[in-house]
Amino acid sequence: MITAGIDMGSRTVKVVFLEELKVDGAPQLRWGVKGKHIMFPEDLDPDQAADKAFEDALKGAGIARDQITRVVSTGSGRKQVKFANADVTEVGAGARGAVFMCPTAKTVVDVGAEEGRGVKANAEGKVVDFAGNEKCAAGAGAFAESMSRALQLSLKEFGEASLRSDKTIPMNAQCTVFAESEVVSLIHSATPKEDIAKAVLDAVASRVCAMVRRVGIEDEVVLIGGMVHNPGFVQSLKVALGVDKVHLPDMPEYISALGAALIAADGEAA
Amino acid sequence: MIANYGYKDGSGEYYISIDTDKCTSCTAGRACLTACPKGMFEIITDDYDDEVAAVKQAFRRSLAFDCTDCKPAGGYTSLPCSAACTPGAIKHSW
């Protein structure tokens, strides 16, 4: 059996195919990732983006559409995936995927382009408690991306630059717009770029941490979403959360799609 | 599951928490739907196929303003939503 999870995010579309494995004597190895694909649908209509990403993913994995038994969509654009059999929220999918990858972690921190959220999950990956921020973009990847543009750095350079700073510059503005004006002020006062980068990522981490505190921080935290690729943000978040173990799973941006594929498999088995 | 709907901004933290485990066996007859003067609640089917209460999407980023009339300054001594929800599933963070 092969199931598919498709995560229609605000910036990217992620597809994961999950295949049921038959590994004798190892029930924990029940599922394996058959294929994954990410697409940046810059010029595509959102309705077409899901189709295009799915077709590309099938081609990449070398499987036919009729081999897929069930498709579950997630993400902010999950309702736009017309061919999905069902949809789940990004909260439920993220928790399921994160606990599958890191079974000992119960606190899931998901920071994508549009939104960050904290989720407490049980051992089965079911959501126990969650909090997000419906209004503010200052705790999300798009804010970091926008600030990296203001500093004329690539996202990769931005994250690495922040690691070279040991200064703590507080950013007082809660709002993205005002935070950007603080960054401009710092640029004008000739503050080194690495210090500004660290200030921005500390601010994002602080916003995310405030949400996670609402659900409670357990000893082991798993961080998912595209922001995991930013080493500066990961470091800032570790400090803000004050926990020793922060798991950084492989393919962090695919975890919600993986969770959706797992939920698809659960539905097929039920 | 505790679902926290809302946001934190420069003026404070505004979340409505709903203990959805109490919604599945609601003994208040879904009173939250009619108790809120602005009709901010709805019943949704969550990811686990349970019918639970949720704050409508349109209100999630303006709770500080939308709930103002039901706070003490508006003449209320208790929140209509929390009071109507006799199982005690609905709480405000502010």
Residues constituting chain B? 94
Residue extents of the structural domains in chain B = 2-92
Closest residue to A134, CB basis, from B6, B13, B47: B6
Which top CATH class is B2-92? alpha beta
- Residues B30-81: tens digit of each pLDDT: 999 999 999 999 999 999 999 999 999 999 989 999 999 998 887 888 899 9
Pick the more confident residue, A229 or A134.
A229
pTM of the model: 0.86
Closest residue to A128, CB basis, from B1, B6, B10: B1
Enumerate residues 6+ apart whose C-beta is below 8 A from A43: none
In this prediction, residue A211 has a pLDDT band, given cuts at 50, 70 and 90, of: confident
- Residues A182-208: tens digit of each pLDDT: 888 999 999 999 999 999 999 889 888
Distance (Å) of CA A83 to CA A69, A75, A161, A230 = 12, 15, 42, 33
Closest residue to A214, CB basis, from B15, B47, B62: B15
Domain with CATH 3.30.420.40 in chain A: 2-102+253-269, 132-247
CA distance A204 to A241: 12
Q: Does B69 touch chain A (CB under 8 A)?
A: no
Side chain identity at residue A26, one-letter code: A
Hey, what are A178's tokens? 């005002």
CA distance A220 to A48: 39
Residues of A in CB contact (< 8 Å) with B are 88-89, 91-93, 126-136, 173-175, 207, 210-211, 214-215, 263
ipTM of the complex: 0.81
Interface touch A214/B6, C-beta < 8 Å: no
Instruction: Work out the mean pLDDT of chain A and round it to a whole number.
Output: 87
CA distance B89 to B17: 8
Q: How many Cβ contacts (< 8 angstroms) between chains A and B?
A: 54
Give the CATH superfamily of A132-247: ATPase, nucleotide binding domain (3.30.420.40)
Hey, what are B63's tokens? 């709770």
- Residues A75-95: tens digit of each pLDDT: 988 998 999 999 999 999 999
Instruction: Identify the CATH assignment for A2-102+253-269 out of 3.40.50.720, 3.40.50.970, 2.60.40.10, 3.30.420.40.
Output: 3.30.420.40
DSSP annotation string for B23-89: HTT-SS-STHHHHSTT--EEEEE-TTS-EEEEE-GGGTT-HHHHTGGGSGGGT-SS-HHHHH-TT--
